[in-house]
Amino acid sequence: MVATMPTMRAAVLVAPHRIEIEQRPIPAPGPGEVVIRVERCGICGTDLHIYNGHYSADRLPLVPGHEFAGRIASLGAGVAGLAEGQKVIADINIGCGHCFYCRRNEILSCAAVEQLGIHRDGAFADYVRVPARLVIPLPDDMPFEIAALTEPLSCVVRTARRSRLQLAESVLVLGAGPIGNLHVQLARLMGAGPVIAADLDRARAALAKECGADAVVSDPAALADTVRGLTGGRGADVVIESVGSARLYGEALSLVRPGGRIAAFGLTPADAVWSVPPLDIVLREIGVQGSVAGMGEDMHTALHLLALGRIRTAPFTRVTYPLTDLDAAIRAFAGDRTAFKVQIAA
């Protein structure tokens, strides 16, 4: 009698807009690896870009999903300090480990970097295999739906660090979706102010106000006057673009004060062009700082803030779908403005 190999479900993006639920063998951990049973995995804007074929199209077929939390199912040889059944999350950024950038802990600049769920199979599956060195234990009492917010919050933490956000600085967040809302909450938590959020969706703008924004704007015609009225006519110290719109990047340049900084966070289409007058950047001494993902210390900081209850998480955990309905979940995330954040539950 031939023994059957245990299988799992995996939601595979086989082509843009086409997800198939496959039965696959449960991965076995190699040396220095662990396999995690996924309990929650969030859907984010990057997943939507991948679904639409705008990002990582050369990696299809792919199991997306990178905002996840779960329990360790099995350990590979040589793994120490972790245990089966332990609640964990994972840093998704896997560098080569030996290049100039990896040795400087600038893993996102590694030419060979891969991200779980973006460049290699991720967590829209029952199980995911990850390097043990990237696994982060969770507090025993932390719910999985909260822990799964660590990765997106870590991206926001990194943006704040790279833009050198300071106490009492004015901040304008362009876009009040899930990630924009987190930018608002973290800026408030760090003592920035006033914190202004702008979004065409009045409900999302109102939610940003509930979550800590000092002012919100839904009318584009009122944005410049509102920002200048709250900043002594100067413009914002820091403008965070969290949508991924070349037009909004242009708006950011007109709304930042002389000597201020623009945090470039939102992913635009690959062919988008931001026309920037160099003389304006030079004469006004504007800083532009890109930030693409959280890693390492950012993950630990984000987890600590979530564990302490410093972030309002209820709006992010209300809508869940089963793995088998991932396609519907992504469509809801993209098209249903009331589905603020969507998570896949085991």
Give the integer Cα–Cα distance in Å for 35 and 106.
Answer: 26
Active site residues: 46, 49
Partner residues linked to 197 by β-bridges:
173, 216
Distance CA 295, CA 292 (A): 10
Q: Give the H/E segment covering residue 34.
A: strand 33-43
Write the single-letter amino acid at 276: V
Q: How far is CA 46 from CA 51, 54, 191, 243, in A?
A: 9, 9, 29, 11
Terminal-residue alpha carbon distance, the chain: 32
Beta strands in 51-207 (DSSP E): 67-75, 87-90, 93-94, 114-115, 127-131, 135-137, 171-174, 195-198
Q: Which residues pair with 198 in a beta bridge?
A: 174, 217
- CA 208 to CA 130: how far, in whole Å? 34
Instruction: Mention every residue, 6+ apart, whose C-beta is less than 8 A from residue 200.
Output: 218, 220
